[in-house]
Amino acid sequence: MYWFVLLAQIALFLASAVILMVVLGLVYQSLGERKDARRFPAPGKRVDVDGQLLHYQESGKGDPVVVLESGISASSLNWERVVPLLANRTRVIRYDRGGLGWSGPAGEARIASRLVLELRGVLESANAMRPVILVGHSFGGLLCLLYACRYRDQVAGIVLVDPVPRVEWYPISGLQLHRLNHGIRLALRGALLARLGIVRLALNLMMGGARRFPKAIASASSGRASSVIERLIGEVRKMPEHLWPIIQAHWSTPRTFLSMASHFENLPDSIAEYLAETYPPHVPLTVLSAESSPIEAMDEHVADSQLSLVGTHRVVPNSGHWIQLDQPEVVAGAVLELVEFLQSLEQPASR
């Protein structure tokens, strides 16, 4: 009887300790989010597009307007090195999709057809409902292509920055489906860890220089979270240093991970939506490939450039997938070439 009572007391103590840790984690996360909201207020405007709160920023003046579309789990901050190179020549709009950056939590599935509707709403709010140049990185390139197919009179040209290789994800193989499902599970697990304050704690420690303790926390929590957090830190460190705390704050929230999971979950269907459309050949199209792109992706990039009557494909030396961070001048140069080309078409012919 004594041992039974002792075991019951130990079990009660452990259960109480777990509950206390969960409560402390929730409080830590709530206080952290409030502090981040005060430290890093939205730098642009936030608008409601069919129930989705979206944040966008504008820089520069002139036409055609350049619109920057980020990758699958990236925010408008990923264009920080490119915007100054464009804004002294024309007007630039960059925005955050639902769940990312300063936008509100994703209210609808992150599927391409929904996302292009939200982009159209942003442009309407920004008074940019005229032919624009769309610039899309990775998954953002897919959205630019679909937008041009569905609103062909509203697109003056497109620049794709190492676009996501559709051939890799559609039709999806058993191996790729396994990889995709694994990514979804990790993202959902990340959302739970963020809700409990574990992601915030680990990122704070790692950005402060610690390594072993946050890895131990992540491994004990999810087994694979440590590798995910390490990868996030690596991407953050490609950005200008003054942005690191802001990106860290965004990635400490559950909504970012939930948005990423929804993007992954709907990726094959998003590709299928584009493949059911026909690209308008009159829209100029420039495709930039990272030097590190696999041959299958490179072949698709070449084929994409040939969809347009004014199509160009270039391989960017010394670049990985994030060309806008590795070689921002090349990305800006490609966009400005398109700006100049379109402006030349509007000039009256000399007599």
Backbone φ and ψ of 135, nearest 5°: -125, 115
- How would you classify residue 62: left for phi > 0, otherwise alpha for psi between -120 and 50, otherwise beta? left
**Rounded distance between C-alpha atoms, residue 53 and residue 12, angstroms:** 44
What pLDDT is recorded for position 19?
78
DSSP structural state of residue 318: T
- What percent of the chain is predicted at pLDDT more than 70? 85
Verify cis geometry, omega within 30 degrees of 0, for the bond prior to 281: no
Closest CA relative to residue 169, chosen from 159, 177, 178: 177
- For the whole model, what pTM was predicted? 0.90
Q: Give residue 350's pLDDT.
A: 45
**Regions in the chain scoring below 70 on pLDDT:** 1-9, 11-14, 16, 208-236, 347-351
Assigned token pair, 252? 């400490």
Determine the pLDDT at residue 94: 98
Q: Give the separation between CA 87 and CA 224, rounded to whole angstroms.
A: 41
Of the candidates 68, 41, 20, 4, the one whose C-alpha atom is nearest the C-alpha of residue 246 is: 41
pLDDT score at 221: 46
In contact, 322 and 295? CB cutoff 8 Å: no
Architecture of domain 45-171+281-343: 3-Layer(aba) Sandwich (3.40)
CA atoms 69, 167, 295, 284: torsion sign: negative
Which pLDDT tens digit goes with each residue over 217-262?
A: 455 444 444 454 555 555 567 788 899 899 999 999 999 999 999 9
Count of all residues that appear for the chain in the document: 351
pLDDT at 25: 82
Instruction: Give the model confidence (pLDDT) of 279-295 as tens digits.
Output: 999 999 999 999 999 99
Report the pLDDT value the prediction gives residue 58, as an integer from 0 to 100: 98
Check residue 1 and give its pLDDT.
61
* CA atoms of 85 and 346, how far apart (whole Å): 23
Residue 47 pairs with which residues in a beta bridge?
Answer: 54
pLDDT in tens, 113-125: 999 999 999 999 9
Name the phi and psi angles at 67, rounded to 5: -115, 125
Is 93 within 8 Å of 126 (Cβ atoms)? yes
Residue extents of the structural domains in the chain: 45-171+281-343, 174-265
